[in-house]
């Protein structure tokens, strides 16, 4: 299967934009700066998929960005208490919804995909890996002109 990387890139960014605008009420746009992987303490929400193509979609951002995302999703203010579990759950749902939105946009390119339950980890220098023979798309985005995040898509041809 020939995969059009530009199509995947566009579907990932458009899918994430739809989720952030509709469910998180924050605008995102691709960063013009060549930023590095998020530094310091971060959350990584990821979801794997299998099918005509297999791989992993992830969103990685600082803890403060993850808190802002969770607060906006839940309609909370800065004064409301937000636990670690709530932040992680919100980041997992973001990965899940971005995956769904990406999948519906890229279906002609990627074919049928079965997705996993999302997973979330917190730590430093977090990165997903598929081992050898995998391609990687990374998009750095600005969120509400206050935060930055990294969208990533690792993929390779699947077993069908």
Partner 1 sequence: MAKSIMIVDDSATMRKIIMKTVRAAELDIGETREAGNGAEALEKLKASAVDIMLCDINMPEMTGPELVKKVRELASCAKTKIIMVSTETAQGIVDDVLASGANGYISKPFTPEKFKEKLTPLLN
Select the residue interacting with partner 1 from 29, 80, 84, 112 (CB under 8 A).
112
Residue 35 makes contact with partner 1 by CB under 8 A = no
- Angle (CA) 106-110-116 rounded to 5° is 95
Q: Does 117 bind partner 1 (CB under 8 A)?
A: yes
- CA 22 from chain centre, in angstroms, equals 15
> Minimal distance in Å, beta carbon 76 to partner 1?
10
Kindly state whether residue 107 participates in binding partner 1, applying the rule CB under 8 A: yes
Residue 44 near partner 1 by CB under 8 A: no
Task: Determine if 52 is a binding residue for partner 1 (CB under 8 A).
Answer: no
Pick 64 or 116: Cβ nearer partner 1: 116
């Amino acid at each position: 299967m020939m995969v059009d990387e530009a199509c995947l890139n566009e579907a990932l960014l458009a899918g994430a934009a739809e989720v952030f605008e509709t469910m998180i009420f924050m605008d995102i746009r691709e960063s013009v700066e060549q930023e590095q992987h998020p530094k310091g303490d971060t959350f990584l929400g990821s979801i794997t998929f299998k099918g005509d193509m297999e791989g992993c979609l992830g969103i990685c951002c600082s803890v403060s960005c993850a808190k802002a995302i969770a607060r906006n999703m839940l309609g909370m203010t800065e004064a409301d208490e937000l636990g670690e579990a709530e932040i992680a759950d919100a980041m997992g749902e973001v990965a899940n919804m971005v995956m769904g939105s990406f999948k519906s946009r890229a279906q002609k390119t990627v074919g049928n995909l079965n997705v996993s339950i999302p997973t979330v980890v917190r730590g430093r220098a977090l990165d997903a890996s598929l081992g050898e023979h995998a391609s990687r798309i990374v998009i750095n985005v600005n969120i509400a002109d206050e935060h930055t995040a990294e969208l990533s898509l690792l993929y390779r041809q699947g077993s069908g």
